[in-house]
Amino acid sequence: MVTGPLHLPSPCVVVLVGPGASGKSTWAAAHFPTGSVVSSDRLRALVGAGEDDIAASADAFAVLDDVVRRRLARRLTTVIDTLGLDAQQRQAWLALARAHDLPCVAVAFDTPPAECRARNRQRAKRIPADVLTAQLRAWARTRESLAAEGFATVLTPDPVRVVPQAFVAATEAARRQQERPTGLRFGLHLGTFTFTGGTAATAGRLRDAAAAAEAAGFDAIYVMDHFRQIPQLGRAWEDFLESYTTLAYLAACTQRVRLGALVTGITYRNVAHLGKIVATLDVLSGGRAVCGLGLAWFAAEHSAYGWPFPSVGQRYAVLEDALQLLPLLWGPGSQRFEGRALTVPETMCYPRPLQEHVPVIVGGSGERRTLRLAARYADAANVFGDVETVRRKASVLRAHCVAAGRDPGEVALTHLSTTLVGTDDAHVAALVERLRPRRRDAAGYAADVNAGTVDDHIGRFRELAEAGAAEVMVRLPDLTDAAPLDRMARVIAAFR
């Protein structure tokens, strides 16, 4: 049975509330990095003679408020470790969290008074008995009002994890997958080719990665259709392989996985020529080609290669023509095609693909035009985004299918995301620290790459499947050897 601590979204604000000696600092230290805990006691030591320097309290709290304000402005997870018994101060923290669109939770330390007193007696520096009694009385009043103060939730001091938003509901979703398994296809998306060993090692590294992907249970391998690295993933001068040459090489290196470009830019090749390329790939791979199609977006790449970059409307016209032309090229016989933007006198392509029907994926999330084209002509639409976004796109795609007179079950929704998988929290944190750009904060980078454990990802992919995804394509940012694929194998196995 999948179980685990409660998940809090990253970033968030956590306000500890309870009398002295109730266990607040101990709990915070067990569940949060030291740097995210803003402690009034530690700040007393910083601005005064020590943690028990009561005369330094005013200065300590002034520094605390300033630190909290600055951390929240930078949207960093912040644990406020002080008594939290002042209602006015709690409301100020709540208001500050809301101003920065951060969820704010309270943790209520309802430790029995006798236990607080016993713990206090064991301290080297005790809280004066009358002061602790006053705090216990204040806590009794606070306990009754805390739930109505507007916190996102009021927690008991049980185990918690702060995770990217994508994993907040992962534990329950992973439990559903364990109890009522559902199937899901997995594709490996290759977006970088800067392998260890440099250019000379590229062919071997790519071959090894493909073999490991098949062994891990991936159903497909996809590559980006670009001619230089895109700015979201690297620098223009980094090694980057041409897509269909790479797919032909992968066809020789693999036995089972489907192969395709996710997605082919419609401006980069004569469309009839593209049909010939895909047909050849299908024949040489034994019937494993997938044809991804998209508008193309990278204007700088077109400029660098001297290609025209038509308007969005012109590119949509070419895309719609291509979606109609390619199946004719792959079919029997030869006929003339006259579209809005393309004219082909003879739709002749021999040898024809081994597959009776080469699957076509349209890439893009545009609800008015892109998903409509996918619904009319394609076998799948590939989208990005969180679970709610996927759920909405699936609904829009179904509506377009109905409007086009197609069975919605004939057009799948697929999903692409960057995926960083670790064995446990410590391993995930180490991967994030190693891979994040120097000026990118760890929590922000973790959210960008969906950094989580194997169980986290089982839950995330279960939620995506429930939202309507039939296949998930993952880009692994740490794919320098087979280890990330081995970890993904454990995720994939949960859906078999």
Domain holding 450, by residue range, is 170-493
* 3-class secondary-structure state, position 357: coil
Interval 178-197: pLDDT, tens: 999 999 999 999 999 998 89
Asked whether residue 393 is assigned to any structural domain, the reply reads: yes
**pLDDT at site 2:** 62
Predicted pLDDT at 455: 97
The segments of the chain whose pLDDT lies below 70 read 1-3
Structure tokens at 446: 């973790």
Same domain (yes/no): 22, 147: yes
What domain count does the chain have? 2
Measured over the CA atoms of residue 88, residue 91, residue 97 and residue 103, the dihedral's sign is: positive
Q: Do residue 139 and residue 285 come from a single domain?
A: no
pLDDT at 300: 94
Contact 332, 352 (CB under 8 A): yes
- Residue 137: the pLDDT is 96
What's the whole-model pTM score?
0.93
Under 8 Å between Cβ of 298 and 230: yes
| CB of 318 closer than 8 Å to CB of 271 | yes
Q: pLDDT at position 480, please? A: 86
Shared-domain flag, residues 98 and 133: yes
* Residue 474: strand, helix, or coil: strand
Same domain, 146 and 288: no
Sign of the torsion formed by the C-alpha atoms of 485, 486, 492 and 496: positive
Please name the amino acid found at residue 71.
R
Is there a contact between 102 and 68 (Cβ–Cβ < 8 Å)?
no
- pLDDT tens-digit profile of 243-272? 999 999 999 999 999 999 999 999 999 999
Assess whether 94 and 208 both reside in one domain. no
Q: Write the burial class of residue 100 (CB in 10 Å: 0-12 exposed, 13-18 middle, 19+ buried).
A: middle
In a domain, 402, yes or no: yes
Q: Which residues contact 62 (CB under 8 A, 6 or more apart)?
A: none
Between CA 121 and CA 259 the distance in angstroms is: 69
Inter-residue long-range contacts of 212-215, CB under 8 Å, 24+ positions, other chains counted: 212/482, 212/485, 212/486, 213/188, 213/254, 213/257, 213/485, 214/254, 214/255, 214/256, 214/257, 215/485, 215/489
The answer to whether position 47 is within a domain reads: yes
Return d(Cα 118, Cα 102) in angstroms, integer: 37
E-assigned strand segments in 354-468: 360-363, 380-383, 412-418, 420-422, 451-453
Q: Are residues 154 and 175 in the same domain?
A: no
In this prediction, residue 379 carries a pLDDT of 98
- Does any domain span residue 289? yes
Q: Amino acid identity, residue 87?
A: A
Distance between CA atoms of residues 200 and 187, nearest Å: 26
